[in-house]
């Protein structure tokens, strides 16, 4: 728990130190959402800037464009896997809420709880996966997924703490429409990059 708090504190300081760059890139990323083909690489570009910040390097808005180009195809590979996984999970949540045949009363809520938990874990896993992807010299989606899963299992308390904080950030970003949604991507990027580097033993530069 103490390590997770330290990482969150360092990530928070880094976020506010580079607030302008992360805020602008977060806005650009959100604006790419309606243009579906641009959104996954825009996220990767933002995460790559977060990596530069964690390494103690100077960052500019144009660094996001460099990450956008470099991770365009790997980001889309990860996005397609997520599209399939989220479609499966949401389908099951709806299906088990309206079963066309009689089942015991406890079964639908139990199955919905299972798929809801799977949705939360998968979302956290993918945030880790994107942070791992931008750390790779030669990006490889399946390898990034495997490494991210191994990191999540490396320290259960650390991972649960980070997932809780990420969930709160996402809930806050959704609740506080307007400014919140434009700050959320940058906050998640810096937090997950710092978390991955900590679990790998790469001490992020102190802001």
Give dist(CA 127, CA 25) in Å, integer.
17
Q: Which carries the bigger pLDDT value, residue 195 or residue 102? A: 195
Residue 15, Cβ neighbours under 10 Å: how many?
A: 22
Please compute Rg for the chain using Cα positions.
18
CB neighbour class for 86 (10 Å; exposed up to 12, middle 13-18, buried from 19): middle
**pLDDT interval class at 199 (50, 70, 90):** confident
Query: DSSP characters for 17-38?
Result: HTHHHHHHHHHHHHHHTTSGGG
Q: What are the angstrom distances between the C-alpha of 138 and each of 11, 63, 87, 98, 115?
A: 25, 18, 29, 45, 33
Residue 71, Cβ neighbours under 10 Å: how many?
A: 25
In this prediction the pTM is 0.86
Which pLDDT does position 103 carry in this prediction?
Answer: 72
User: Is residue 3's pLDDT more than 90?
Assistant: no
Which pLDDT does position 72 carry in this prediction?
Answer: 95
List, for residues 130-163, the tens digit of each pLDDT value: 999 999 888 899 999 999 999 888 878 888 888 8
User: Is residue 111's pLDDT more than 90?
Assistant: no
Query: Which residues, at least 6 apart from 148, have a Cβ–Cβ distance to it below 8 Å?
Result: 125, 126, 128, 129, 131, 132, 196
Q: Contact, 190 vs 16, CB < 8 A? A: no
Average per-residue pLDDT for the chain: 87
DSSP character for 26? H
Report the run of H or E that residue 205 belongs to, with start and end.
Answer: none
User: Is residue 102's pLDDT more than 80?
Assistant: no
Q: Contact, 134 vs 51, CB < 8 A? A: yes
List, for residues 13-55, the tens digit of each pLDDT value: 999 999 999 999 999 999 998 888 999 999 999 999 999 999 9
User: Is residue 126's pLDDT more than 80?
Assistant: yes
User: Is residue 203's pLDDT more than 70?
Assistant: no
User: Is residue 165's pLDDT more than 60?
Assistant: yes
Which pLDDT does position 131 carry in this prediction?
Answer: 94
Which pLDDT does position 109 carry in this prediction?
Answer: 82
Give dist(CA 193, CA 8) in Å, integer.
11
Give dist(CA 63, CA 201) in Å, integer.
25
Which residue bears the tokens 């389908």? Answer: 91
Domains of the chain by residue range: 2-72+119-199
């Amino acid at each position: 728990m103490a390590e997770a708090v330290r990482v969150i504190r360092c990530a928070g300081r880094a976020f506010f130190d580079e607030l302008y760059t992360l805020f602008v890139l977060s806005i650009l990323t959100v604006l790419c959402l309606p243009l579906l083909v641009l959104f996954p690489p825009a996220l990767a570009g933002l995460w790559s800037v977060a990596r530069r910040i964690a390494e103690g390097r100077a960052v500019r808005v144009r660094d996001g464009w460099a990450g956008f180009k470099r991770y365009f195809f790997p980001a889309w590979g990860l996005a397609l896997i997520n599209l399939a996984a989220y479609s499966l999970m949401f389908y099951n949540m709806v299906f088990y809420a309206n079963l066309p045949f009689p089942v015991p009363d406890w079964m639908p809520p139990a199955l919905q709880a299972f798929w809801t938990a799977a949705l939360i874990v998968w979302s956290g896993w993918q945030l880790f996966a994107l942070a791992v992807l931008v750390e790779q010299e030669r990006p490889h989606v399946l390898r990034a997924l495997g490494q991210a899963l191994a990191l999540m299992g490396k320290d259960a308390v650390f991972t649960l703490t980070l997932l809780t904080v990420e969930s709160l950030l996402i809930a806050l970003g959704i609740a506080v429409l307007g400014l919140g949604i434009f700050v959320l991507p940058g906050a998640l990027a810096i937090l997950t990059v710092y978390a991955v580097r900590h679990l790998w033993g790469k001490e992020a530069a102190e802001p």
